[in-house]
A and B are shown apart, each in its own frame.
Chain A
Amino acid sequence: MRLRHFTFSLLAALILIAAVQTISAQALDISSGGQATITGAVGGSVTGSASVLNDLIVTIDFGEVSPLNTNSIVKVVVPIALRSNQPYQVSVTVSGLINGNVQALQASDIGFGLQNIRKLGGAGQDCNQSTHIIRSPFSNDPALNATIGGSGRVTYPSSLANISGSTIILSGPELSKNNSIKRQNSDGYVFDAVFALTPQFFAAGVSSATLIFTISPGPNVPC
């Protein structure tokens, strides 16, 4: 009888410890930052939840990017929300965009930059001793800074080609005032991930890529 009581107590204790650890581990959170938008597309779309309470799962279809699309550029803005009770960093990986034909769509043909870091829902941790830093070269709106390269091809200040392995794109001090264990509509920060693709005489075909954004403990900067 005593052994049974001991077993129950032990199990309960272990579960509680696990719960506490789970709470601690989830002090970093990344989610949708709002409705993603797309402009300049022909037959394109962007889907994803507009709620900042939902996971970041966005699907972008740039649509037609041959000269059949007579718009100057296809631009997609994906708001991404971040929450943390500790210094953080955001990294990104890219996979899937492999075209052997150099005239086909390449990673360097998709401009990628970060813009407009702001408080989530108007509330977030105010830190005076550290700032949120967009890592070089990603602090730009690629749609506004596209230029013609020496080969006649469009280039951007930063693109998916600047992502090598897990690349840190953003870091800073803690993001949230409250140590809530669940997502809230405010108390964090949002930034815009901006993607730009200029229609060109690319070799025909369909291309795809997957980006995974990850938030993790960052450099130990003071708030």
Chain B
Amino acid sequence: MPRKISRTILLTALFVVSAISCFGQSTTGTVTMSATVSKFVEINSGGAVTLTGNSGGGVTTDGVANSPLAVSINLGELGPSNTNSFVTAQVPLKLRSNAAYVLSMTATVTSSGTTASRIVASDVGFGLGTVSRTGLGVNAGADTNATSGDPTLAANGSVNGTTGRYEFTAVRSNLSAFSSATTALSGPIIMNAVPRSNANGLTVPAFFAVKPQFFENGTSTISVTFTVTAP
């Protein structure tokens, strides 16, 4: 009998301990957290377009800094009646990224003319100017400009001694080099860890130039698309 009592006491005690354990109180708690930062790149307008040397024409849709790039320009008269040496449009671009970037470009040129004297892609000079990385939150870095810069520079073009046509001859100095997506600029991470509300970034002017010549009369449309990626 005493043995049974002892066993009963022992079992009761075990139940008590088990019950207490089931109450599940704790002196510690855990909060686990994670966050993802994906590669991010963007291209926007770097500001207003500058059009020079034009006869007629004008900027139809201007660039607005930090807004999507959607510029429309009428270059005006490109025949010999325009006596300026070049019609030049300077389009400011602004790039931002949290990773290394590549800026590529594709261009198409269509003309109503039908002869070899119509305006074609090689008649439209192109180049990227000086790259600027300035302002709070912009990472210092060396960019690679794959173009030859301002196409109107003497070093970037000349009159063809055989045909007499003015040609943009330097590396990637005219739109014929961009019939398919082709790199124009590349570089390391642009922005330090700052919020998107920080409006700074990398700015670079894109130059487009046409030398007024005895082109076949008609109208031409030049369409250029810039794309920035983070490979």
What mask results when residues 15 to 33 of chain B are scored 1 for a CB within 8 Å of chain A, else 0? 0110011011111111111
The number of residues on chain A lying at the interface, defined by a beta carbon within 8 Å of a beta carbon of chain B, is: 78
Measured in the bound complex, the distance between the Cα atoms of B21 and A182 in whole Å is 10
Using A19-B20, A61-B34, A152-B198 as known contacts, say yes or no to A183 and B25 having CB atoms under 8 A apart.
yes
Chain A residue at smallest Cβ distance from B6: A8
In the bound complex, do residue A182 and residue B23 qualify as a contact, i.e. CB atoms below 8 Å apart? Answer: yes
B24-60 CB mask vs A (1 if < 8 Å, else 0) is 1111111111111111101000000000000000000
- Residue in contact with B35 in the complex, picked from A30, A57, A197, A211, CB distance below 8 Å: A197
B181 to chain A, nearest CB (A): 23
In the complex the two chains form, is B189's CB within 8 Å of A110's CB? no
Q: Which residue of A lies closest to B16 (CB)?
A: A19
Within 8 A of B (CB), among A185-223: 193, 195, 197-216
Count the B residues whose beta carbon is within 8 Å of the partner chain — how many?
Answer: 50
When A201-B192, A203-B99, A211-B33 are in contact, do A55 and B6 touch as well, CB less than 8 Å? Answer: no
Decide: A201 near B29, CB < 8 A? Known: A152-B137, A154-B195, A207-B34. no
* Chain A to chain B: the 4 pairs with minimum beta-carbon distance, closest first: A56-B29, A8-B6, A152-B137, A182-B23
Shortest Cβ gap from A94 to chain B (Å)? 9
- Tell me if B3 and A183 are in contact (CB < 8 A): no
Residues of A within 8 A of B14 (CB): 15
CB-based contact A203/B198 at 8 Å: no
A213 to B28, CA, bound (A): 5
- Given the known interface contacts A4-B3, A5-B6, the answer about A63 and B27 at a Cβ–Cβ threshold of 8 Å is no
Residue A103 CB within 8 A of the other chain: yes
Q: Assess whether A67 is interfacial by the CB under 8 Å rule.
A: yes
- Assembled-state Cα–Cα distance A28/B26 (Å): 7
- Is B9 interfacial (CB-CB < 8 Å)? yes
Q: Is B193 an interface residue (CB 8 A)?
A: yes
A116 on interface, CB distance cutoff 8 Å: no
Q: Which of A43, A60, A103 contacts B192 (CB 8 A)?
A: A103
Given contact pairs A15-B10, A56-B31, A63-B35, A103 touches B99 in the complex (Cβ within 8 A): no
Query: What's the Cα separation between A9 and B191 when bound, in Å?
Result: 74
CA distance in complex: A183, B26 (Å):
10
What 0/1 pattern do residues 6 to 29 of A give for CB contact below 8 A with B? 001101100110110011001011
Partner pick for A8 among B9, B26, B28, B30, CB 8 A cutoff: B9
4 more A-B contacts (CB under 8 A) besides A182-B25, A201-B193, A214-B27?
Answer: A12-B12, A154-B194, A183-B25, A211-B32
Q: How far is the CB of B112 from chain A (nearest CB, A)?
A: 43
CB <8 Å contact, A31 and B37: no
Bound together, the chains give a CA A83 to CA B24 distance in angstroms of: 13
Q: A61 CA to B3 CA in the complex, in Å?
A: 58
Which of A32, A53, A151 gathers most chain B CB within 10 Å? Answer: A151
Knowing A30-B28, A195-B33 touch, does A9 contact B17 (C-beta < 8 A)?
no
A202:B37 contact, CB within 8 angstroms: yes
- Min C-beta distance of A221 to chain B, whole Å: 19
Q: Is B213 an interface residue (CB 8 A)?
A: no
A138 to B69, CA, bound (A): 44
Nearest CB on A from B66, distance (A): 13
Kindly list chain B residues whose C-beta atoms are within 8 Å of the C-beta of A18. 17
A65 contacts partner chain B, Cβ-Cβ < 8 Å = yes
Which residue of B25, B34, B136 is within 8 Å of A206 (Cβ)? Answer: B34
Decide: B40 and A67 in contact? CB cutoff 8 A: yes
A103 to B13, CA, bound (A): 59
Which residue of chain B has the shortest Cβ distance to A149 in the bound complex? B194
Q: Which residue of A lies closest to B21 (CB)?
A: A22
Closest to A32 in B: B29
**CA separation between A204 and B17, bound complex, in Å?**
51
> Within the assembled complex, what's the spacing in Å between the Cα atoms of A220 and B187?
60
Let me know if B25 and A58 touch, CB within 8 A. no
Q: Which residue of A lies closest to B139 (CB)?
A: A103
Contact with A along B185-211 (1 / 0, CB 8 A): 000010111111110100000000000
